Structure 1
Amino acid sequence: MKETCVVLLLCLAFCSYPGHADPDSADGTGTEAACGNYNLKKGCVRIFDPVCGTDNVLYNNECLLCVQNLQRNTNVRIKKRGMCQEPSPRSGFTEN
């Protein structure tokens, strides 16, 4: 029984692990943000879970990337989860 639970948990963890786009890929397509998971009209939670957009802007979380896409009528995708290596000046974040 214990082994079955461990295997199921490992399978669940493996299947739910988010994919990461290759930051050096030539096409720069990234991965689509899961905007359907958020009620964008109500706003986003204030949780810092940074994503780097394909526009090299650092977004505090995926929901905020979705809100920006909606407001600007753009389709910025997730280049990678975490900090941008060279964030755009528009992101307001600079590494010291």
Structure 2
Amino acid sequence: MAMSVLVYTLSAVVILSLCLNAEAQSTTRPCDRNCPCTFNPVCGTDRITYSSECTLKAANCDRANPVTVESTGVCTRGGRHSHGGWRRGGRGGNQGSTAAEEK
């Protein structure tokens, strides 16, 4: 009798740990850094303009405290641009816009 209770308990523990592990793996998704080359700017809560919501989310891959979208469009009142692969005026490249370009 004691042996069957022990086997039952161990089996239940193993099954429970397998279920919890599978649930944890299903909620953990790899960070997607492959964003399309589209210009649909958003202003993050860090007051940085990102070329798209996707680039904001990609930047969050390296952060302990994720940034969220504060507003659509370019940040105003003291915001700055990310270096997310766009330049003002549609000239492409991997540089953010400069102060001279904004005037």
Identity between Structure 1 and Structure 2 (%)? 33
Report the 3-state secondary structure (helix = DSSP H, G, I; strand = E; otherwise coil) of the residue aligned with 2:55: helix
Structure 1 segments (4+ residues) deviating >3 Å: 89-94
Gap change, CA 1:66 and 1:90, over 3 Å in 2: closer
Task: List per-residue Cα deviations over 1:30-63 (Å, max 9, x = no partner).
Answer: xxxxxxxxx8436100000000001010100000
Give 1 or 2: higher helix fraction.
2
Where does structure 2 lack aligned partners over 5 or more consecutive residues? 1-29, 84-95
Gap change, CA 1:59 and 1:42, over 3 Å in 2: closer
Deviation of 1:70 (Å): 1.2
In structure 2, which of residues 74, 79, 89 is the aligned counterpart of residue 87 of structure 1? 79
Equivalences, count: 58
Superposed CA RMSD in Å reads 2.3
Asked if the contact 2:45–2:67 (Cα under 8 Å) also holds between the matched residues in 1, the reply is yes
TM-score under structure 2 length normalisation: 0.47
Structure with larger RCO (C-alpha < 8 A, sep 6+): 1
Gap change, CA 1:40 and 1:48, over 3 Å in 2: farther
Report the 3-state secondary structure (helix = DSSP H, G, I; strand = E; otherwise coil) of the residue aligned with 1:75: coil
**1:57 and 2:82 matched:** no
Where does structure 1 lack aligned partners over 5 or more consecutive residues? 1-38
Asked if the contact 1:40–1:63 (Cα under 8 Å) also holds between the matched residues in 2, the reply is no
